[in-house]
Chains A and B, each alone.
Chain A
Amino acid sequence: MSKQHMESGIVILDPVVREVARSGKTAPRLASLEGATVGILENLKPKAKELLTMVYEELARRHKLAGSVLMTSGSSSRPAPAAVLDEMARKCDIVLVGLGD
């Protein structure tokens, strides 16, 4: 320990890296599901597609939907590819996501 530290205490460096604030904003929320196209983004986990499809069917029972678009994110442990997200953004009004197992 240096003489300065002995006299005035100890200085340590912060080990943490904070998440960089991301640019971008979320899409506006839908006022209604009537006529909406619903995306189903499944992640290849067992029963993920079945679970999300059940949610879609329940929504379809309650609302007059335009239809669904089913796509896969390709992996349950990695972000969905940008091309998949772009296509979903183009074709869908809302997207259902969730894990399986």
Chain B
Amino acid sequence: MPTTPPRAERHHLADALSAIEYCYEQGWTDGLPVVPPTEDRVAAMLDYVGAAPAQVVGQNLVRSRTATAEKVAVNAVMAGCRVEYFPVIIALVEAMTDDAYNLHGSSISTGGSAPLVVCNGPLTRELGINSGVNLFGPGNRANATIGRTVRLLLLNVFGGTPGVLDKSCFGHPGKYTYCIAEDEANSPWTPFHVERGFKREESTVTIMAMEGPHQVNIAGPSDPEVILSAVADTMRGTGTMLASGPSVGEYVVIFSPELRRILYGKGCDKESIRQYLATHAGRTAEYLKKHGLLLGALEPSDATRWVPTVRSAEGIFVLTGGGDAGPFTICIPPWGRGLNSKAVTRAVRPPARSKA
């Protein structure tokens, strides 16, 4: 960059309520009230991670926008974050500005995906990021405000104004906030971040462009094949964008504790689940062509030609989470068959003033 990014402009208001209304008037909110980003609150965020205001955290070249630590902190304050969440936010900005994530394409598409944030590692427990009951629901400050910060950054820092650049046909509620932790403490399986090459004791964030979560009820069966066949049936759903031919991923499946106990008890691990789903989720080419989801003229061999929903097992992310009671699974298809956006994971760096 040729010049140092300018410092944030200051606005003078009569009081906090006036500031909240002012933020509405300027189009700086997601529709909910924001915490006024005062100088002292923003400074506390920056101090916590030892960042200078002009420090560049990430850039999006397509939109010619640079996210400085100060602007990121302003939006984190507005979203309601505690300062202790700011290292997570910094890692998230690094992840969402990675070219592989494709911030621009994923946030303008009519397909209406939202950035799903998955947190792993010891920091998630320290910060109280929910991995359990009511996983995608309200009631937890960390989940609500970390996910909301991503949305405010897309709006204010990266210019993703709905109806202007963001052309989602429907969008989904995850566009307000969409942040979870994996339930590592109560799972016998390898944590997601370890599968992605990080150490168990590291803390990470993963961002991925995803459709909304769909809950699958699998009450009664104790045979893993019956349970997983229900998941595979949901994955291949005609209505998902994923159904339009083989996807390169990355499909998220989250198993509740109740189902995990059954599957683990019958010898299943994440890898065997992935292999089963990759093999059994799919449609015939004939079905896909008839529904306009696969291009080309119908051929006799299409009646038996199997088209997998996800091209390979590596494209299925098996996660753990959810409340203790309930035989449920969550299925989340990726935006646009995973062709143009990849999940990106970043380590969360400890704050400048470590408690050690």
Contacts and interface: CB of A to CB of B under 8 A. Distances in A.
Interface string B59-94: 000111111101100110010000000000000000
A49 B270 CA distance: 42
A27 interface: no
B63 A19 contact: yes
A96 to B, nearest CB: 21
A26 to B, nearest CB: 16
Given A5-B38, A12-B36, A15-B74, A77 B11 contact: no
B277 interface: no
Given A2-B40, A17-B67, A10 B18 contact: yes
B15 A9 contact: yes
Contact of B16 (A1, A15, A16, A17): A1
A78 B60 CA distance: 12
A10 B341 CA distance: 41
A98 to B, nearest CB: 15
Contact of A14 (B8, B13, B64, B340): B8
B10 interface: yes
A15 B78 contact: yes
Interface in A41-85: 46, 75-79
Interface residues of A, number: 22
B340 A13 contact: no
A78 B9 contact: no
Contacts of B37: 12-13, 15
A74 to B, nearest CB: 10
A17 to B, nearest CB: 5
B204 to A, nearest CB: 26
Interface string B325-356: 00000000000100111000000000000000
B23 to A, nearest CB: 8
Given A12-B10, A13-B42, A19-B64, A77 B16 contact: no
Interface in B291-319: 295
Nearest to A8: B12
Contacts of B42: 13
Interface of B: 8-16, 18-19, 22-23, 26, 28, 36-40, 42, 62-68, 70-71, 74-75, 78, 102, 104-106, 108-109, 152, 156-159, 295, 336, 339-341
